Structure formats: structure tokens, C-alpha cells
Chains A and B, each alone.
Chain A
């Protein structure tokens, strides 16, 4: 079965197995034949959609002249902001890498008690929106704020972005390297560091990139913790000056940072190729015996779960127990839940459909265009939801008025925001299926569309499905864009939550938060089970 890097923007698959000489592979992937229009045209369309906010930001940033842009960029405050945001993103990413690798190794490669259960539990924080976690932490520790507060909340909510790809990679990895290292006399730790860790590099880079961009674009944690990072300042700028130029300039700067990070991530893989031709041969590495540490090691998943799940759970239970006196607003919650599911399902469908051509193209062709299109799909991912929302307000009012404040524009906003999650999944899983099969299919005279439908997509299907589930999950938690773009009179769980916390009615907000977390837990659980369960059959 295809292991898939959830959301991993893998350039060449994600699982190093060392079974293919890099050179040979590069020749295969680098065929210079013209990419098929069947993929190129829709992929260009997807990239254009992802770049829509840039158009708006450029209009708004430059409407008062280049001087104004320079003025905002050269402010001392902007430099400080950039440093603070990057420090936060760097710290969160580092912590997530450590936690993600530790948990992945414990749940995949060690004899940790109940490790499959822990694998699922460790994924569940993805179901908790940062604004819920933030309120939970503040209510338990009122003194928590600033950098530390934002760091704790973001790390607790986003380490699964590292855990999922690393666990998948660990499971697919050929253990031979580590075994050889051990046989040469290295300690287990040295063997892990020198033989295993380098092979995890693509998974680490992919997961780390997602975490870094998440930390840059998230608003919930930094606003609740009152830490002036990019998103908070962009919001404050809209709120305080009604002058949209500074916010637009900062938005463009954020896009630039994103593209640099995407480029760095690609570079960090170097030219090494990690894809495979065949699927067989890989063994799961021997289970490491923790020995006397077997029970104490449970402290790691317990501690992580306490911080990432326990704190929000306690706060939600407390708020709910206070709120029950007022009765459970079943009708409102039910209606909001249905609306949430509908928007999220439409968002996931649209995003996945848009992502397929970009991901397949990037996996199959190595030229400049596929690479460019894939990177373009990241443009909107680090932008705060409100910026994407204003961009679509601006554009749809002018050019797609019949759809303005109707579901299609909201769905489009979700696609702009979350495309990379799906593109990465498509790319990763398509890269793992052998292109030879497609060549065989072509040689039998099958048309490109038929090859895509009958060979490429079926092989990549589990990965694409996991990507769709991740997008679904992320759409469910989205707040700022939903607030501005949802059809008049509709309400999602997230917007209802916002309404209730707006009058400081945490107890009234609790039912919406609980239902949102429980509903999100279902797709999260599916992702966790995928990663946690060892290969059970499958190709």
C-alpha cells in the first residue's frame, strides 16, 4: 500500500530506499518530452488560482506608489516583525521536528507499550484549532502570553504535520543502512543519527515546511497570546488604519518568505532521489527493544498528549459543565455542524481536483514548468485567511459578482489556502508509483486521459484520498475567510464559536467547540490509523 506523506511536498517521492541508483532515476523522471497538455492546461489554471491573492496584494500595495511600499518595508517595525515571526516559526518547527521524530520512532520502531494506540492519539491534536487550544491555555494559565504562549500552542497543535510523514517514512525505510551501521560498531543512537536520520530528510523537510508555514500564517495562537507576529500585525493593520496598503505590503513580504522557505525545502533534499522503481523489497526495520526504558518511555507520548489534548479537553469540559445549565443548543449546533461539513467537503473536493494535475505533473516531469507550477501552488498557503478573503472579495465583486458571498467563492478561498496539502499528497503518492506502468499502458495505445484515469490515479489513490481528508479537516477549522465569504445567514461551527467568545460567553461557546473537535477527530483518526497501523497487505 502506498504510504503517503500527508501533505508532503515531496519532489521525488518521499521514501528513500536506496534501491535505485540516483542517476538512472533522474534520467527516467527527466524525460524531456513535452508535458501532456491534458495536465499542463489544468495545472496552469490551478497555479493561476493560487496566485489570485498576489494580484490583489500587488494592486493594493502599489496603489499609493512605490515609495509607500518602500516606506512600509524599511520601517524598523517591519524588520523586527520579520525577525520575531521567523524566530517563532523556527522555534516551533524545531520543537515539532524533535517531538515528531521521537513519537514516530517510538510508535513505529520501538516496543513501546500500546504503540498503535499512541500513534493514533499522537495524531489527534490536528483536530484542535489553535484558537480553541489558545483559549484553553489562557484559562488554565492566565499568565501565559507572548512568545512562550504562542510557541506552546502552535507546537502542541502542529507537530502531527511532522509525525505523519516521518512515521510513514520510517515504516517504508530499508533498515539495511541502520543494520550495517550497527554491525560496524556504532551505538544505536549513532546508527540512528548517521544512518536513519539522513534518510528521513525529505520527510523532515516536508513536515517542517508545513509547520513553519502554519506557524507563520496562523492567527489564533498569536492573537490570543498577544504576540506580534505577521498575521497579528496584518490584522491590526486592517483594524487600526483602514488603510490597506501596509497590510498588503506585509502580505507580499509573507508570500516572499513562503517562497524562500519552499525553495530552501527543495534545496535541502539536494539532488538525491528517493523514489523507487518497484514496490517490493522493503522490510520494516527490526523493532528496537527499549528494555528497562520500556515503561518510562511511555512518559513521552503521555506528556505530549497531556499538553496537546489534555489541556484543551479539561478547558472544554469545564466550559461545557458551566454551560449545560443554559441547555444544549442542539438545533443551532446541528445546523452549524451540517453547514461546516458541507463547506469543508466541497472545499476538499475542489482542492483535490485542482491539485491532481499539478501533483501528477510535478511527479512525472522534471522540467522548469512543472516545478514552477508546483511552487506557485504554495503562494496562498502562508497568507492569513483574512488576506485571501479580502482578495476574493475584491476580485469576485468585480469579475464574478453572481458568485460573490455564495458558496463557490468560499470554496475557492479554501482551495487557495490549502492547495499545498493536497498537491503534496498527490505528488508524493504519484512519485511512488512506477512510471513504467504508465509507459506500458501508453504502449498499448491507451490515450493519455485513459492512462491517467486507469493507471496513474488508481496507483496514487490512497495518497490522494489522505490529502483530501487533510484538506477537509483543515477547512472545518477555518475561521477568518469563512466569516467574510460565507453566504449571508449561514453559520459554521467556527463562526458560531467566534460569535459566542465575542461576548465572552465561553460556556455558550463550548458546545460548538466540542462538536467541532469531535467532528474533526474523525478524519484525524483516519489519518492516524493510516500511519499507525503497519502495512496490512496491500500491494
Chain B
């Protein structure tokens, strides 16, 4: 009578035993994975950037320096919240964040070490923390992606604020729930003020914009001629281009609004060292991310803007970072996402 239970329990136990002893040894060995935690001498990294992008970079780091790395991947904001909960007992030594806002939140809570002047000097000041506690490692720009077959280059808008005009009605794609769109709105709030941002969002809403689930889908739609314009990050077009075999295989092109326009906000991926966790290894990691090899990786693989001098971006039709103007904004301030979401909610763009 007890057989079903005994069988089930045995089956569950067998799974545990088999799974933990199935493979031999090696990094992929579940037995090792189960026991894995920060070993002595391992540098623990929390990464808000995707494993597929960061994984190869970390292997390069270990190869170059001999320092072993253990990584926890998650959303940047979730990891920031986890780091806040962990406090000073966190196993993490460094935090690589998808955006500046999460680093800003940790900085505000006193959870980041100050970085050395030498480290900060490698990157233009506007791409790092004003307090010197995190440093940008790669940049991305907001752009207007457009279809030249549908819109001659001469008729492109001069500012993102123009998109509320009647000639753009029903023609602009955007991704309302995407973090990149939200931080664009935050940037607009910080630089152009709440009033003007609200007016823009209301006008934009009334102009019948087309909502998409993500930036890549917008680029697809623009490239396919479904809509003429889209508000996206710059690198989606180039990712699509490398899949297609070159930018000349695609119709869509990126366009930067001239001047200090909120539509051309530059945001960064950044790195910070956790409070009390400064070490040679942590410093080596930060130095590596700001070195030639990693910066070239960002330029070539993720098509982002490298932030150090001497490494060129691999984005043929966009100006170099130095001539990107974008709005002047302290990127740490982009942590006021809550007000942005409240505003988007009120306006009805969710």
C-alpha cells in the first residue's frame, strides 16, 4: 500500500543521486554546480548583462589574468535589489550593470567603493558617476531608425519633439514597456523638465504611435516597410545587419537627432566595485573592461560605442562617440524611473 509513496520518494532520490554523479568532472558538471559557490580566490561578479554577451568576455578576462570568475546573472535592477538586501555580506565583488540607474541606486545607499582617478580618467566624465563610484564601459545611443524608401533623408525630423506633428501620425514605432524607452523618457524629464515631457508624451500618444514588444521587432518593421520610423537603441540595426550579411543588405538606417536632443540620449553599461570589496582582482576586472580587448569586443560584437580612446566603434553610418552630442545628463539620475512610470501610466502609454 505504501508502494506509490516509496516509489516516488525513491525516484526523486534517484534523480538527485544520478544527476549529481552522472557526469565526470568539469565546469558543466551538475555535482560541481550544486556545490559551487564563491571559492577562495574567485572573483564574484554580478552581471545584469546577458550571459551570452558577457560570458565570452569573462573567459577572455580569465585567460588574460588567470583570475577565476564566478558569475550570477540576472536583471540589473533585480541584482541591485539583491545587493541592497545582502548589504556588506554580499559575496559579490563587482557589479556589471546594464544601465547607469541601478548603479546610481547602489551608490546612493553607500554600497559602492570610490574608483581610482586613473580608472575614471580613461572614460569621458559624462559617462561615469559624478561621485566617481562607477565607470561606464560601453555606450549606446537612442536613435530614430527610418526607412529611406518611405522617407527621404531630407525630410527627417530635427528633434524628437517634432514627432507629435501631424505628418508623423501613425508612423512611429516604439516599445513602451522596454527599459530603453523608459530611460529615454527619464532622460527627457531630467533634461527638458516634467512639463515639456508630459506635453510631448500626450502629443505622441494622440499621434497614434505603434507599440511593439521590443526594439528588434521595431527595426524589423521599419526595415520591412511596415512603418517608416521607430524609436530604438542604435545597435539593433547593426545586429540585424550582421545576421543579414552587412548593412547594405538592409533598407533601414539610423538617424541621430542633431544637437543636444533627448531623442539622442547616450546611456551606458557600467561597472562598480562593492563597498569593502576593493581588491587587486576587482581592480584588474575593471581595468580589463576598460582595456583594448574588451572595448574592441563591445565595438565589434555588441556594436556599442567603446568608451576609451583609441578603439573605434564599428557602426559605419553613425558619428564617433566624441561627436555624439546627446543631452547633458548625470546618468546616475536615471534612477528616477518610478516617476517616469507614473507619468507613462497617467498619460496612458503602457
Contact = CB atoms under 8 A, between A and B. Distances in A.
- The finding on whether chains A and B are genuine partners in a shared complex, rather than unrelated, reads yes
Interface of A: 77, 138, 142, 226, 228, 236-244, 331-332, 335, 338-339, 341-342, 344-346, 348-349, 352, 386, 390, 393-394, 397-398, 401, 404-407, 457-462, 464-466, 468-469, 472, 483-484, 487-491, 495, 499-500, 502-505, 508, 539
B35 to A, nearest CB: 7
A488 B16 contact: no
Nearest to B35: A487
Interface string B28-69: 111001111110000010000011110000000000000000
Given A488-B71, A499-B52, A342 B78 contact: no
B75 A239 contact: yes
Contact of B34 (A77, A461, A490, A539): A490
B338 interface: yes
Contacts of B2: 457-458, 461
13 contacts: A239-B78, A244-B81, A338-B23, A349-B13, A390-B81, A397-B89, A458-B5, A461-B4, A462-B5, A472-B12, A487-B37, A489-B27, A502-B52
Name B's interface SS: helix
Given A226-B350, A331-B28, A349-B13, A488 B37 contact: yes
A146 B6 CA distance: 45
Contact of A468 (B9, B28, B74, B340): B9
B119 to A, nearest CB: 24
From A236, A405, A508, name the one whose CB has the most chain B CB atoms within 10 angstroms: A405
B81 A406 contact: no
B268 interface: no
B91 A339 contact: no
Given A238-B81, A342-B15, A499-B52, A461 B1 contact: yes
Given A228-B350, A468-B9, A483-B78, A488 B338 contact: no
The SS class assigned to the A binding surface is helix
B80 interface: yes
A472 B14 CA distance: 14
A342 B30 CA distance: 9
B85 interface: yes
B70 A464 contact: no
Contacts of A500: 52
A342 B102 contact: no
Interface in B166-181: 177, 179
B208 interface: no
Interface string B295-338: 00000000000000000000000000000000000000001011
A499 B1 contact: no
B276 interface: no
Contacts of A459: 1
A394 B15 CA distance: 30
Given A142-B213, A346-B16, A488-B37, 14 more contacts: A138-B213, A237-B338, A239-B77, A240-B77, A243-B338, A335-B30, A338-B30, A345-B16, A397-B85, A461-B2, A461-B6, A489-B33, A489-B71, A503-B53
A465 B8 contact: yes
Interface residues of B, number: 64
A244 B85 CA distance: 10
A504 B214 contact: yes
B350 A397 contact: no
B87 interface: yes
A458 B84 contact: no
B1 A539 contact: yes
A342 B52 CA distance: 24
Contacts of B78: 238-239, 386, 483-484
A103 B32 CA distance: 45
Given A226-B177, A341-B15, A393 B30 contact: no
A443 B96 CA distance: 66
Contact of A461 (B3, B38, B82, B341): B3
A539 B3 CA distance: 13
Q: Which of the listed residues A239, A339, A461 has the most CB atoms from chain B within 10 Å of its own CB?
A: A239
Given A341-B15, A469-B8, A241 B337 contact: yes
A490 B15 contact: no
Given A349-B9, A349-B13, A393 B38 contact: no
B4 A397 contact: no
A502 B13 contact: no
A477 B335 CA distance: 32
Contacts of B9: 349, 352, 465, 468
A361 B338 CA distance: 46
A465 B89 CA distance: 39
**3 tightest CB-CB pairs across the interface, nearest first?**
A461-B5, A242-B105, A490-B33
Contact of B74 (A461, A483, A505): A483
Nearest to A489: B36
B154 interface: no
B216 interface: yes
A239 B15 CA distance: 36
B72 interface: yes
B200 interface: no
B39 to A, nearest CB: 9
B206 interface: no
